[in-house]
Amino acid sequence: MDTRHSFPWAGLFLALVTFVAMIALGLDPVISLAVLVVWSGSLLLISGRPPEPPKVIVKNSFNLESMRGLIENSSTPIMVTEKNSIAIANAAARRMLGQHMIGQDARMAFRQPEAISLLGNDRNGRAILRGLARRQDIWEINRQGLGGDIAVIELINQTAEADISRAHTDFVANASHELRTPLAAILGYVETLSESADSLDTPTSRKFLRTIEREGKRLQNLISDLMSLSRVEAEKHDLPSEILELAPLVERAASDAAGLNRINRLDFALNCEPSVQGDAQQLEQLVRNLVDNSLKYGAPSSPVKVMLDLARDNHARISVVDEGEGIAPEQIPHLTRRFYRTDPGRSRASGGTGLGLAIVKHIVERHRGRLDIQSDLGKGTRVVVRIPLAETQTIDAKSEETEGPETGIEKMS
C-alpha cells in the first residue's frame, strides 16, 4: 500500500485566495502576509509527517498450550475442542477414553446418541451418558463454547449419586416388605380370632396367639434394628470419646445375647483387658449381634467361641467363631448389606431381621475399626472385629509373636 503524502496544492491555493481577499478588503498587508505564511507553513509541516500505521483489529484468541497446563491435573475429565475436533484432553480424560482420541472428532470419541446430538448441533448444554467407561457408569457431559471454534467439554461422574438413590429406593422397598409380612400375619390371626372365637377350640386359639406373639416380637425387633441402624448412620462421623474396659463389656453383652437357654454354649477366652475409645451401647450391640448370629446359625449342639486378645497395630481383637454349616464364598461380600440373607426362610423362622451385620459394619466404621469375615463350608464361620486401643493402652509384644496371618474379607478404615 502506498503510504506517501501528496503535496497540499489545494490548501496553498486556498491560503493565497484568502490573502488576496484580505488585501482587497483593505486589511493591513503585514497581517495578511502573516496569515498566509502561518497557513502555508502548517500545511507543509503536516504534509511532511510520516503516515500513521493502519489500525489492525486483533480478534481474541485462546492459547491452547496455556489451557493444557491449566486442566492437565484436574481429576475431572476435561477436553478442549477446536472445530469439534479434540485438541486437548487432560490426564483423567485420556485414562477414561484412551490416548487415541486426540485429533478425533468429538462425536466419534463418545459414540453415543445423546453426545452426538449435543456436539453435532454445536450448542452449549448438558446430556446424560450411560456406560461410557463401565457398564453401570452414569456421566453428565457439559459443553460450553469459548468463542470462535473453541469449546470445553467436561464430564461429571454421577454414578455415586445414582447408586445412593438406588440404595435408598431398595432400602425403602425391602423395609416395607419386611414390615408388611409380620403385620399381615398378626392382622390375619387377630381377625380369625375375632370372628370365630366361639367355634375355635383351646389348642387352636393358643396356636394362633403364639403366632401373633412371635410375629409381634419379630416386628418389634425389626423396628428396633431400623432405629439402631438409623442412629448409628447419623453418628458415624463422630468418633466416640468414652474410655471403656472391653473385657467385661464383651462378656456381659455375649451373655445377654445367649440368655439362660443358650449360655452353656458359650466358650469365653478373654485373654487381655484392653481399653478402647468407644460407645458402650453400640459396642454391646455389636457383640450381641455377632453372638446371636453364631448361636442361631451354628450347629445346635456345638459351642460358640468368644475371644478377646490384642492384634497388631495397637488394636483389640474380638473374635466370634461357630461350628455351623458355613457360608459360600460368593455370599461373603454381601453379608453386611441390609436385609441380605443367605437362607431367607431359616432367618425369618429364627426371628432374624436381616440387619444385624449391617449394624455391626456401621458400628465398626464409626469406631475406625475393621471387620473381617471368614467361612468354610461344613466347618463354620469366624467373624473378627478390630477396634483401635485407647491412646494410653500399650500392646503386649507377645501377642504380636503368636498372632497368625488372616485374610480380611471386608475392611473398614
- Are 125 and 143 within 8 A, CB to CB? yes
174 and 150 belong to one structural domain: no
Q: Which amino acid, one-letter code, is at 37? A: V
75 and 133 belong to one structural domain: yes
385 and 258 belong to one structural domain: yes
Alpha-carbon span 388 to 276, nearest angstrom: 6
Give the pLDDT confidence score for residue 5 in this predicted structure.
54
79 and 136 belong to one structural domain: yes
Per residue in 225-251, pLDDT (tens digit) is 788 887 787 777 778 889 999 999 999
Residue 326, all three cell numbers: 458355613
CATH number at residue 316: 3.30.565.10
145 and 166 belong to one structural domain: no
Per residue in 155-170, pLDDT (tens digit) is 888 877 777 666 666 7
Alpha-carbon span 316 to 386, nearest angstrom: 6
148 and 285 belong to one structural domain: no
Question: What's the domain count of the chain?
Answer: 4
Q: Cite the DSSP H helix spans in 196-273.
A: 202-234, 246-262
Q: Does residue 101 sit within a domain?
A: yes
335 and 258 belong to one structural domain: yes
Per residue in 76-87, pLDDT (tens digit) is 899 898 888 888
Kindly list the distances between the CA atom of residue 282 and the CA atoms of 28, 356, 357, 362, in Å, as whole numbers in the listed order. 116, 12, 13, 10
Per residue in 265-310, pLDDT (tens digit) is 999 999 899 999 999 999 999 999 999 989 988 888 889 999 999 9
Give the pLDDT confidence score for residue 364 in this predicted structure.
94
Q: Does residue 273 sit within a domain?
A: yes
CATH number at residue 190: 1.10.287.130
pLDDT class for 216, splitting at 50, 70, 90?
Answer: confident
pLDDT class for 382, splitting at 50, 70, 90?
Answer: very high
pLDDT class for 401, splitting at 50, 70, 90?
Answer: very low
229 and 344 belong to one structural domain: no
Domain boundary among 171, 200, 234: 234
Q: Does residue 56 sit within a domain?
A: no
151 and 190 belong to one structural domain: no
Give the pLDDT confidence score for residue 351 in this predicted structure.
60
Q: Does residue 75 sit within a domain?
A: yes
In the predicted structure, residue 405 carries a pLDDT above the cut 80: no
Domain boundary among 234, 261, 296: 234
Domain that holds residue 368: 243-402
29 and 73 belong to one structural domain: no
Domain boundary among 207, 234, 261: 234
